[in-house]
Amino acid sequence: MDDNLTTDLLANLCIVANQTTAKREEVRVWSMSGVERVTFPDGCTRIFKYAKRPFDSEDQALRLAGTLGIPAPKVYHSVRIEGWLGMLLEDLGTPVREADDLDGAAAAVVLHRTRTAGALPVLHEEGLRALPSRALDHLDQLRKADRWPDTGDIEQALDQIARAADARAQGTTLAPFGWVHSEFHPTSLHIGRRGWRLLDFARAFTGPGLLDLASWHGTLDDPDPVRLRVFLESYVTEGGTPDVLAERGGLPAEKWALGWHRMWVVEWFMEQSIRWINDPATDPTYIKVVRRHLSDVLQLLEV
């Protein structure tokens, strides 16, 4: 993380916000983004969030979400410098509690009911079934760079999934199909004194809402179709479409969702490895994660 660049981003934001300076307090920092709470001389506080490409259009997604009635933090100002985005956001304060499964189901219902937005990228059935082929392209680029040796098992798994993708991707556009948050986890749902807000819209797109529901419990533990089925049923109870329980691609909804979500994660990790992170030192970690998720995909999508 470039401290000089984040300082420049904040300085530019202070100018457009008509503020002279700000006291900074780190909240959380990742490899490609960070969040700070800033306090201005008049005592006003804002959240300063910064991120590099490809996360540099979140301000647009957040503004769009607000326009369409999705509960999300307000964007006061945003600036861009050298492929980096800086934003001053509404300070929602400290959460009163952590989000639970019922909170997640209710929030997902609101999100998925929202009118689709033409400005968002779209993941139709064609895009979903192309994921394993895209991952194979990333693997080819990595190998051309003399990286990811001894990964024949990864290539074989991706080939198997690619051959089954046409059949297994069927049902992609069944409801709920629309807004997909794509980082839908309990940590992205802020429960405050004035209700809830969805955070982290950097990778929002239009697509199958089941990918959001499959992401809620995270990817650190083994996928649990039974647990997801219960979550899907809660989603229906909270007012979501019963079609969320319909079979897709010859599979129960929960297995379809978990399998394709893991495949979506695999493609994203491999793209990060060759394009956005592009650091050979991270290869062992990425290879390990990709192998684990591909094993899950093969089992869940029954290929």
Q: Is the Cβ–Cβ distance between 257 and 121 less than 8 Å?
A: no
Number of domains in the chain: 2
Domain that holds residue 34: 3-89
Q: What are phi and psi of 197, to 5 degrees?
A: -140, 140
- Domain identity same for 75 and 167: no
For tokens 């490895």, name the residue: 273
- Domain identity same for 294 and 172: yes
For tokens 């929002």, name the residue: 204
Task: Output the pLDDT for position 117.
Answer: 78
Task: Output the pLDDT for position 1.
Answer: 62
**Alpha-carbon distance 85 to 5, whole Å?**
10
Task: Output the pLDDT for position 276.
Answer: 85
Extended beta strands in the chain, E state = 23-29, 33-39, 45-52, 75-81, 84-89, 177-180, 189-192, 195-198, 205-208
Task: Output the pLDDT for position 119.
Answer: 85
192 domain-assigned: yes
Give the three-state DSSP class for 48.
Answer: strand
Which of 55, 89, 123 lies at the terminal end of a domain, its last residue?
Answer: 89
pLDDT tens per residue across span 30-82: 878 999 999 999 999 999 999 998 899 999 999 999 999 999 999 999 999 98
Task: Output the pLDDT for position 30.
Answer: 83
Q: What is the pTM of this model?
A: 0.94
- Domain identity same for 79 and 115: no
Give the chain's residues under pLDDT 70: 1
C-alpha 215: how far from its chain's center? 8
**Alpha-carbon distance 240 to 213, whole Å?**
12
Q: Is the Cβ–Cβ distance between 72 and 39 less than 8 Å?
A: no
Crossing angle for the helix pair 131-144 and 152-168, to the nearest 10 degrees: 160
- Domain identity same for 164 and 47: no
**Alpha-carbon distance 268 to 187, whole Å?**
20
| Residue in 250, 243, 252 with CA at minimum distance from that of residue 165 | 250
